[in-house]
Amino acid sequence: MISTLEKEVTFRFLKTRKKDGFLNVISIFSFIGISLGVAVLIIVMSVMNGFRTELINKIVGFNSHITIQPYEESININNIENSSLEIISKNLILSNSSEAIIIGEQFSKGILLRGYLENDFSKLELINNENFIGQNKKLEQNFISIGRELSFNLDLDIGDNITIMSSSGVETIIGNLPKKKIFTVLSIFDSGLADFDNNIIFLNLETLEEFSNLSEKDRNLEVYLKNPQKIESQKDLVQKIFPLDLVSTWADMNKSLFSALKVERNVMFIILSLIIIVAAFNIISGLTILVKNKTKDIAILKSIGVLNHSIIKIFFLVGVIIGTSATLFGVLLGITFSFYVENIREFISNTFDLTLFPEEIYFLSTMPSEINISSIFLISICSIFITILVSIFPAMKAAKLDPIKSLKYE
């Protein structure tokens, strides 16, 4: 417990006088340093969390949550009626894919063809967002849907024709000749990821299989879940339903990307935590000078019977109060900045004509930010813990002062 005397002396020591000018400067810099360290850490973590969430949403919005691929035998379609699968799934869609080349007068480009049945195409979230261009959401034969980036790069619009050459060929008396077919652009989609929009074309599943020499036994089953976040447990369930097939999730297909993001976030947390540690060392300097300036006061307190552990608590509280108040102010500053980070980015970009967040690099039109309460709590605890550690040494030093010598030399 903290006594009334200890509280009074602590708050008295916190109110530095004019003659303690240098001590004032150190205390202010300690406060500002810890506040900025905490704020910067919260802002960076919020932006990285937001970027990761946006990336996941775009990848999940473009790809199926779980993909079931056949081995030697085709997928057992009867398993689709499994009651457990019906509970966790929102949509079950058959698909297939192959590689091809777009042929033009002055260009050629490799692309990935992805086929869906005529009515299944409209079930994709990608097709139902506000950026989709086209009246017809069905994939009719000999029609295709292309990405926004590809339409820009090849100067294509709805109704234009495009020649595509298949990676599979036709056997003739003179050898294997590649298949070529003219398709008409039916619609233009926008996934938000330039890499997808520039390299993938949707077309009718039956047309794809005929064009690429594929059969129904090669078809994949795409599972779209009601709750895609709990992916691992649901993957295990799907694997039990389809034991003879290869089951993979969006997390498996992008494991290296999200592993890199996780490592980067952890490294940034460690690096930026050093700001708080460096700022906290100012507290040691400030408390050490405070002990030196208050030598006479400490001696008087000891001479009237104040115990050593009370002296320790007094100086320990001074350091903790500075650190805790700086942490709370940093949390407030960080949350405010994170909440308005996109507005601040726009203001700086418009005022100084700078491009701080180029869309062609980050694939996002706005700077994302996601305030995570658990991250803020962890940052606050770490900051206060560091403050507690650095306040111990000066407090112990104050308690060891000899009151007789202190009064003698004052």
Instruction: For residue 310, give Cα distances in angstroms to 25, 63, 156, 259, 291.
Output: 27, 64, 79, 50, 14
CA distances 392 to 16, 308, 312, 317, 389, Å, are: 20, 13, 8, 10, 6
Residue tagged 């700001």 (tokens): 275
Name the pTM for this structure: 0.70
For 99, other C-beta atoms within 10 Å of its C-beta total 12
Dist. CA 243–CA 247, nearest whole Å: 9
pLDDT at residue number 404: 62
pLDDT above 70 (res 141): yes
List pLDDT tens digits, range 78-108: 888 888 888 888 888 889 999 898 987 777 8
Whether the predicted pLDDT of 358 surpasses 70: no
For 254-281, write each residue's pLDDT tens digit.
Answer: 777 777 777 877 887 888 788 777 777 7
% of the chain at pLDDT higher than 90 = 7
Q: Rounded to whole angstroms, how far apart are CA atoms 274 and 41?
A: 10
pLDDT at 11: 72
Domain ranges within the chain, ordered by starting residue: 4-57+257-409, 71-244
Q: Given a cut of 60, is residue 361 above it in pLDDT? A: no
| 202 confidence band (pLDDT: 50, 70, 90) | very high
**What is the C-alpha radius of gyration for the chain, rounded to an integer number of angstroms?**
33
For 241, counting Cβ atoms within 10 Å of its Cβ (0-12 exposed, 13-18 middle, 19+ buried), the class is middle
Tokens of 310: 């009370």
* DSSP notation for 142-177: TEEEEEHHHHHHHT--TT-EEEEEEEEEEEETTEEE
- Arithmetic mean of pLDDT, 42-50: 86
Mapped onto helix, strand or coil, the DSSP state of residue 108 is strand
Q: Is the pLDDT confidence value at 333 over 90?
A: yes
- Per-residue pLDDT at 326 exceeds 70: yes
- C-beta of residue 187 within 8 angstroms of C-beta of residue 133: yes
